Structure 1
């Protein structure tokens, strides 16, 4: 499957290499939903490839795609709690330093 460049993979999952919490927008995701550090992105981002999940979460907006992603994996409540706390750090969101 070819990447549609929707940006959902840069918002929905947590990304330890970037200390990015679940459900929070990656600080490197530009307004047009493209990676602003694409040439220097971490290996985990380089290794990620579009798959069936991308097809399952198709929706008109990034917000809807992220919502569908989180629901698909049963992570909606955890992501909501992270947003409510205002955590910008994955470690802080999980109760660490």
Structure 2
């Protein structure tokens, strides 16, 4: 499966290598849903391969795709709590020390 560059994988999951919390937009994701550090992106991003989840979360907007992703994995409430508290980092959202 080929990447559609929808941006959902850069928003929905938490990304420890970037200290990016669940449901929060990666700071390196451009308005065009492209990676601004593509050549230097962490290994977890490099090894990501589009799969059936990409098809399951298809939707017209990034917000809708993210919501579908979070619901698919039962993470909607956790992501909403993270958004409500405005956590700037994954460590802060998880309540762990650096």
TM bracket, shorter-chain basis: over 0.9
| 1:93 aligns to 2:69 (yes or no) | no
**Aligned residues between the structures:** 97
Distance, in Å, in 2 between the alignment partners of 1:51 and 1:88 is 29
How far the C-alpha of 1:10 sits from its partner, in A, is 0.1
- Residues 6-17 of structure 1: pairs in structure 2 closer than 5 A: 6-17=6-17
Distance, in Å, in 1 between the alignment partners of 2:35 and 2:90 is 19
Q: Superposition RMSD on alpha carbons, in Å? A: 0.5
1:24 maps to 24
| SS of residue paired to 1:5 | coil
1:66 maps to 66
Scaled by the length of structure 2, the TM-score of the pair is 0.98
Distance, in Å, in 2 between the alignment partners of 1:11 and 1:75 is 13
Distance, in Å, in 2 between the alignment partners of 1:50 and 1:70 is 16
Scaled by the length of structure 1, the TM-score of the pair is 0.99
Distance, in Å, in 2 between the alignment partners of 1:88 and 1:4 is 27
